[in-house]
Amino acid sequence: MSSKLEQLQALLAPVVEALGYQCWGIEFISQGRHSLLRVYIDHVDGILIDDCEKVSRQISAVLDVEDPVSGEYTLEVSSPGMDRPLFTLKQFAAHAGEQVKIRLRAPYEGRRNFQGLLRGVEEQDVVVQVDQHEYLLPVDSIDKANIIPRFD
């Protein structure tokens, strides 16, 4: 996790949790002069648009005061959804048995993209089975990981 993401997580997670939600994860995508700050929130009862608006207003107030992001940015507050992104080892472990799509920051064994069965975690590695091969992917090398929704 980059220092910018760590800073944003430390600043915003307590705000989200004080409102009664779980801070599922944060993405910060720098796009030249205009960046995107996406905060995923979750709750046992699910997330409605009103929940996103409530959290967005509170986060906006904190960001205005603390000003951790230089330049222009768009703030999005969202539910993780059915294709929920996975950020932490705890989240990977909780979703063992699900199909996942993982993109690494740099190639591992000649590839950056892995799609298969999430077997779980071992120490600091995510275990994913692609066809008949198991890969141990260091969580710090994962750029993006999502659950592949099942419709059955």
Residue 53 has pLDDT above 80, yes or no: yes
Q: Where is 73: in which H helix or E strand?
A: strand 72-78
Name the segment(s) of the chain with CATH classification 2.30.30.100.
89-147
Tokens representing residue 16 in the block: 């989200």
| Residue 137 burial by Cβ neighbours in a 10 Å radius (0-12, 13-18, 19+) | buried
- The CATH label, of 2.30.30.100, 3.30.499.10, 3.40.50.300, 3.20.20.110, for the domain at 89-147 is 2.30.30.100
Confidence of residue 48 (pLDDT cuts 50, 70, 90): very high
Average pLDDT over residues 44-64: 96
The rounded percent of the chain whose pLDDT value lies above 90 is 84
The predicted structure's pLDDT at residue 122: 96
The rounded percent of the chain whose pLDDT value lies above 70 is 99
Give me the CATH topology for the region 3-78: GMP Synthetase; Chain A, domain 3 (3.30.300)
The predicted structure's pLDDT at residue 1: 58
Contacts of 21 (CB under 8 A, 6+ apart): 41, 42, 43, 47, 51, 55
What does the pLDDT look like over 60-119, one tens digit per residue?
Answer: 999 999 988 878 899 999 999 999 999 999 999 999 999 999 999 999 989 999 999 999
What is the pLDDT of the chain when averaged over all its residues? 94
Name the segment(s) of the chain with CATH classification 3.30.300.70.
3-78
